[in-house]
Amino acid sequence: MSKSYQAIVVGAGPAGSSAALTMARAGLDVALVERGSFPGEKNMFGGVLHRMPSLEKIFPDFWERAPLERHIVKKGVTFMTGESCFSTTIEAGNYDRPPYNGYTIFRPSFDRWLADEAVAAGATLITRATVDDVVRKDGRISGVSIVGRSGQLHAPVVVAADGVLSFTAQKAGLRKATFDPAQMAVGVKALIDMPREMIDDRFGLVRDQGFANEFVGCTEGVRGGGFLYTNYDSLSVGLVFHLASLRTSGKTPYDLLNAFLEQPQMAKMVCGGRLQEYSAHLIPEGGYDMIPELVGDGILVTGDAAAFCNATGLNLEGINLASHSGVVAGEAVIAAHRAGDFSRYGLSSYKKMLEESFVIKDLKLFRNAPHMLHNNRIYQEYPEMMCSFMENIYKIEGAPKQSVTRQFLKSAKEKVGLGKLLADGFSAWRSL
């Protein structure tokens, strides 16, 4: 097999399919190469798809056509100690009106649908095809080779959208073959089937409303957090850990996930459900400082392959950044075709457009967040402080009370230490 295209996209995840769709819509002959037997086959994530203005622009009826689950009207965070928990929830009226603030989705159906839209626009989807190297001609990238198949695919430009470990970007020399575990996280997820009415009753939802909750203090001191998202008739529940911290703990992700599901507050939320499957995946959480070279001669890097994931501890945004960078990569390739220049200079509009977009602006703004999140106290001492403070506030003992400020200082002193609280407050202020 040896075929030529005007562009090759490696990976049919949100970044790759958005790039292929953009180029195919402009009339380019694009190959979208995916290792799975269908796009999304093995892809997993936590579960919330955030707004994607770039796709909405080229695809105005995006939200009506995409396979979505519930729209998120309620967002919450729970601090846990194993004994007690303290939750806060925002239920925003304007989250319950279109355009919605986010949806739960399933990757196999969403990724497949997005790739099909690229195909409908004219892209050629090649599945069960794992790219194992780039092809070079006159010192620049001019195609890819595929494992186990004789022959190669050729194009003047390749878009590397093959996810967090991007083999394509590595082979092109744009990123290192090894990664720093301090910049990487691993997520594990359990999908729990539950009747729709039970979910509605348990989480106070009506119609197609959904709930997204994050958890802190549920990882036995390992740096990380938990999540619970409602789908129509299932719950996505999981944990995300900093890889370096998980490694030194000697604990296994699945044991920690089972322990999380057995905590009394979690057990109440998932009871009556039936475990359907477990899955796991890496997340590039190093933020701005993790971004590799984005452009080479004949190649662009997008999505997780470019570390475009914004994990601030408040939200985890990945698909929206992946999709936007894919659209922008597609636009840069279209411009390069017009100019007939596929060198790093001819493709440089990619970096310029990204720098003007929320992708780079947000990653730059929250550049210090990944460092702040390496503070172990966030995952144990602070949840204990919050729970002890709230417990004391609501405790009525028939004895004279202390002021709320005194109660707060008491919990802070006991659980964290006032000096550390001040230092951590300053670090959070600089990071968020």
Q: Where does this chain bind ligand FAD (CB under 6 A)?
A: 10-16, 33-36, 39, 42-43, 45-48, 50, 130-131, 161-163, 167, 187, 189, 238, 240, 281, 283, 303-305, 309, 316-320, 322
When the beta carbons of 199 and 390 are compared against ligand FAD, the nearer one is: 199
Residue (34 or 117) nearer to ligand FAD, CB:
34
Q: What is the largest CA-CA distance in the chain?
A: 84
User: Least Å distance between CB 276 and ligand FAD?
Assistant: 16
Q: Closest approach of Cβ 399 to ligand FAD, in Å? A: 46
N residues, the chain: 432
Sign of torsion over alpha carbons 45, 190, 216, 210: positive
Nearest to 81 by CA among 188, 220, 258: 220
Contact call for residues 125 and 115 (beta carbons, < 8 A): yes
Among residues 171 and 344, whose Cβ is nearest to ligand FAD? 171
Q: How far is the CB of 409 from ligand FAD (least distance, A)?
A: 36
- Count the Cβ atoms, other than its own, within 10 Å of residue 113: 17
Smallest separation (angstroms) from ligand FAD to the CB of 118: 12
Nearer to ligand FAD by Cβ, of 20 and 353: the residue is 20
Q: How far is the CB of 172 from ligand FAD (least distance, A)?
A: 12
- Of 229, 312, 237, 268, residue with least CA distance to 49: 229
CB of 303 to ligand FAD, least distance (A): 2
Compare residues 87 and 130 and give the one whose CB is closer to ligand FAD. 130
Q: Which helix (H) or strand (E) holds 331?
A: helix 319-339
Strand, helix or coil for residue 284: strand
182 Cβ contact list (under 8 Å, min separation 6):
242, 243, 244, 286, 374
CB of 27 within 8 A of CB of 331? no
For residues 10 and 174, which CB has a smaller minimum distance to ligand FAD in the complex?
Answer: 10
